Homo-oligomer: A and B are copies of this chain.
Amino acid sequence: MMTSLAHGAGPLIRKLERLIRLNDDERQALDQLPLRIATFEPGHEITRQGDRPQHCVAVLEGFCSVSKIVGEGGRSIVSFHIPGDIPDLQSLHVAEMDVSLTALTKTRVLLIQHEDARRLCAQSAAITHAFWRETLIAGAIAKEWVVNLGQRDALARVAHLFCETIARLEVVGLADDRRCHFPVTQEQLGEAMGLSTIHINRTLQELRSRGLISWERGDLEALRWEDLKAVGDFDPGYLSLAPDWVVLR
């Protein structure tokens, strides 16, 4: 892991602006935050289950997964994270990490020292609420994954994940026209969807043969968006993409 000092928390501010309206003081407080940027190579663990980290992570570039160790040597991916996400806000409140955070691609992250994050929260209720909202959306996505894993067969499950991913990436400008980069392996897809790699492969073939998606070398495209949504039983409501946020000040 390489770290370096950085000035300016532009990406973090943009992220928070999506969650709540910041005033100048808050923007300035964020901008003056002593921030460290770290880069991780694919497969490297940013935070490990059992760690007691002293900082939070905001993803700037790249893709990460949150996973838990299962039984004997297994691993279960519990969520994917994209630029703009803060995947480990719980570390502010719970001492020991109950999950691991892993870089799926080369990933640049902002390290926010806990003391700085706490000071920010103490200074600004709006920032506290923005963090809380980030937690709420992550929870809503997790609930939808519970539905996905519990109720839908392989085809619908993968279709749903693709819809969710495209929808989330569109918000941060990383998907246009239902097309995005989503560089996960079929094995990782399987660990996330509760399916064997082999069945993921066959499911992808089915989605492709139905003309619903194309996916090569990590480039995903929904060829028939409405049909893909229908197959995946996808309703983006839970993502709170149109934030009719209640004003909290």
Where the two chains meet, the residues of A that have a C-beta atom closer than 8 Å to any C-beta of B are 66, 68, 70-71, 74, 76, 78-79, 89-90, 92-96, 98-99, 114, 118, 121-122, 125, 128-129, 131-133, 135-136, 138-140, 142-147, 149-152, 192-194, 233, 237-238, 240, 243-246, 248-249
Which residues of chain B have C-beta atoms less than 8 A from A99's C-beta?
143
Which residues of chain B have C-beta atoms less than 8 A from A76's C-beta?
146-147, 150-151
Interface of A is mostly: helix
Instruction: Give the interface centre of A76, A121, A143 by most chain B CB atoms within 10 Å.
Output: A143
27 A-B pairs with C-beta separation under 8 A: A66-B143, A68-B143, A70-B147, A74-B151, A76-B147, A76-B150, A76-B151, A79-B143, A79-B146, A92-B248, A93-B132, A93-B248, A94-B140, A94-B243, A95-B244, A98-B143, A98-B237, A99-B143, A121-B129, A121-B248, A125-B128, A128-B129, A128-B132, A132-B135, A142-B146, A146-B146, A149-B150
